[in-house]
Amino acid sequence: GQNIDQPTEMTATEGAIVQINCTYQTSGFNGLFWYQQHAGEAPTFLSYNVLDGLEEKGRFSSFLSRSKGYSYLLLKELQMKDSASYLCACLEGGTALIFGKGTTLSVSS
Amino acid sequence: DTAVSQTPKYLVTQMGNDKSIKCEQNLGHDTMYWYKQDSKKFLKIMFSYNNKELIINETVPNRFSPKSPDKAHLNLHINSLELGDSAVYFCASSQGLASGYTFGSGTRLTVV
């Protein structure tokens, strides 16, 4: 079975930095993904971590610690358009992504 | 040119009806999926097909039947629709791991 936990909601202001945490317990772990989903739209791929450490992509970075079952998504220089749901997902056994319930981020000016 | 396209985008139907949702991907991916997103935004895997073969079938009522005529298409047929089937259904495809899944724009199903 699998259990993926992330905060339900977070708020932040434009220009700030926010970190969205995700803890997981899965069997046959094959990687951790972060997706962004704006209201009424499809999820879009942000990052993939399979080894421990930090992956940086522009304003977004993702970190993984496999021994701790922990990941975070770091968003820098927040913009209003970053208001969205952020979904943490684990790949189990190379078969399918199992998603957490998502974190709704609200960015205010 | 849409990578993963689903039709219809919206579907409103009465309880007890049978309906189908179609999905096509032009990415050349081998694996396709159906996910259900409920009112609380929880995205849950339903089915996965690899090269037309069913590889994942989660605990889904057998009123739901996926069909993959070729590796570019994965359709979802739902019999005897119930109120609880109301949700957004997303099709997705993938090839390898590092690039993640590509999702369609979703089909919002409302059962009345």
What's the pLDDT score for residue B39? 86
- Among B40, B45, B103, the residue with its CB nearest the CB of A96 is B45
Strands A103-108 and A84-92: antiparallel
Mean pLDDT, residues A33-46? 95
Give the separation between CA B108 and CA B92, rounded to whole angstroms: 15
What's the pLDDT score for residue B59? 79
Give the separation between CA B105 and CA B96, rounded to whole angstroms: 21
Chain A interface includes B54 (CB < 8 A):
no
Give the separation between CA A43 and CA A84, rounded to whole angstroms: 10
Statement: residue A2 has pLDDT above 90: no
Other C-beta atoms closer than 10 Å to the C-beta of A13 total: 11
List the one residue out of A35, A92, A33 whose CA is nearest residue A64: A33
Cis peptide leading into residue B8 (ω within 30°): yes
- Among A33, A91, A102, the residue with its CB nearest the CB of B41 is A102
Residue B31, both tokens: 């694996």
| Sequence-ordered strand ranges (E) for chain A | 3-5, 9-13, 18-25, 29-37, 44-49, 53-57, 60-65, 70-75, 84-92, 96-99, 103-108
Statement: residue A66 has pLDDT above 80: yes
What's the pLDDT score for residue A28? 79
Mean pLDDT, residues B21-48? 93
Statement: residue A1 has pLDDT above 80: no
Side chain identity, residue A5: D
In this prediction, residue A70 has a pLDDT band, given cuts at 50, 70 and 90, of very high
**What is the distance in angstroms between the Cα of B111 and the nearest Cα belonging to chain A?**
18
pLDDT in tens, B63-108: 999 999 999 999 999 999 999 999 999 999 998 777 789 999 999 9
What's the pLDDT score for residue B1? 67
In this prediction, residue B22 has a pLDDT band, given cuts at 50, 70 and 90, of very high
Other C-beta atoms closer than 10 Å to the C-beta of A95 total: 16
List the one residue out of B87, B94, B88, B64 whose CA is nearest residue B4: B94
Q: Which residues of A touch B41 (CB under 8 A)?
A: 37, 85, 101-102, 104
| Terminal Cα-to-Cα distance of chain A (whole angstroms) | 41
Mean pLDDT, residues B33-57? 88
Chain A interface includes B33 (CB < 8 A):
yes
Mean confidence (pLDDT) of chain A: 93
Give the separation between CA A62 and CA A73, rounded to whole angstroms: 5
Mean pLDDT, residues A3-19? 96
Statement: residue A91 has pLDDT above 90: no
Give the separation between CA B63 and CA A21, rounded to whole angstroms: 37
**What is the distance in angstroms between the Cα of B80 and the nearest Cα belonging to chain A?**
26
For residue B78, give the H/E element and its range.
strand B73-78
